[in-house]
Amino acid sequence: MSPFVAEFIGTAILILLGNGVVANVVLNQTKGNNSGWIVITFGWGMAVFTAVFVVGQFSGAHINPAVTVGLATAGLFDWAQVPAFVAAQVLGAFTGAVLVWLAYKDHFAATEDGPAKLAVHSTGPAIRNLPMNTVTEIIGTIMLVFGVFYLASPGFMTADGQMLEAIVINGQEVGFGLGSLSALPVGLLVLGIGLSLGGPTGYAINPARDLGPRIAHAVLPIPNKGDSDWGYSWVPIVGPIIGAVIAALLFGLFN
């Protein structure tokens, strides 16, 4: 499988299962309606686990522009590959959001709450304070990307598109590839971030996870959906990118 196709598929899986659990909890007349934050965070953890397990062997399973930028900043990924990876991730996230809408189409129609419909697609703050919301996203993404460096040794791709199993950094061999059981600690990390840091902003910690579904919300014929809150949309893009760069710099400092 092409690494770029793998990123598209992996991010689509991430959003299908991740936004799917939000739809199950917040939309009317579902089996999981009002089942709460624990269900949402656990569902997102399983979404990450599944996506990483499925496509890790093909692309390293970044499934997140912040991870891709963090790897490139740390010198573990070719900057020339970044735009294509990010494009695949955003397109995959959009596609996953469309699939969630199809699966829950009747429940979107049965729900009058416009903000709840947006919440199925994208994140939003519990207390709207954009500078502090950005700080929250920075902190959450630092934890994500820094944790990924140590928990799962994310994939390194050369300029010619070849995946390497290991690379030497400061005289030490670092292994790569998020497949197999390496997917489990990453899923647990996202579960922990959601439980501990997700309250203020809904823990986007992934620009594609927010942008792709927000675009889907804007273009899909969802009844009484309200606006897509583009005034907030930069926060889950800028915050995670800054957090990823900081995490990469910390990784370089400690290794």
How far the first Cα of the chain sits from its last, in Å, is 32
With 0-12 CB in 10 A as exposed, 13-18 as middle and 19+ as buried, what is 109? middle
Three-point CA angle 147, 175, 58, nearest 5°: 90
Return phi, psi of residue 161, to 5°: 85, 15
Q: Tell me, what's the pLDDT at 176?
A: 46
SS3 at position 230? coil
Q: Give 45-90 pLDDT, tens digit per residue.
A: 999 999 998 998 888 889 999 999 999 999 988 999 999 999 999 9
pLDDT at 168 over 70: no
User: Could you write out the DSSP letters of every residue in 151-171?
Assistant: HT---EE-TTSPEESEEEETT
Per the structure, the complete domain to which residue 216 belongs is given by: 3-254
- Residues forming a β-bridge with 173: 168
- Averaged pLDDT score across all residues of the chain: 90
Measured CA to CA, the distance from residue 174 to residue 85 in angstroms comes to 22
Q: Report the number of distinct structural domains present in the chain.
A: 1
Q: Give 170-185 pLDDT, tens digit per residue.
A: 555 444 444 445 688 8
* pTM of full prediction above 0.85: yes
Q: Give 215-237 pLDDT, tens digit per residue.
A: 999 999 999 999 999 999 999 99
The domain spanning residue 174 has which CATH number?
1.20.1080.10
Q: Which residues contact 234 (CB under 8 A, 6 or more apart)?
A: none
CB 93 within 8 A of CB 16: no
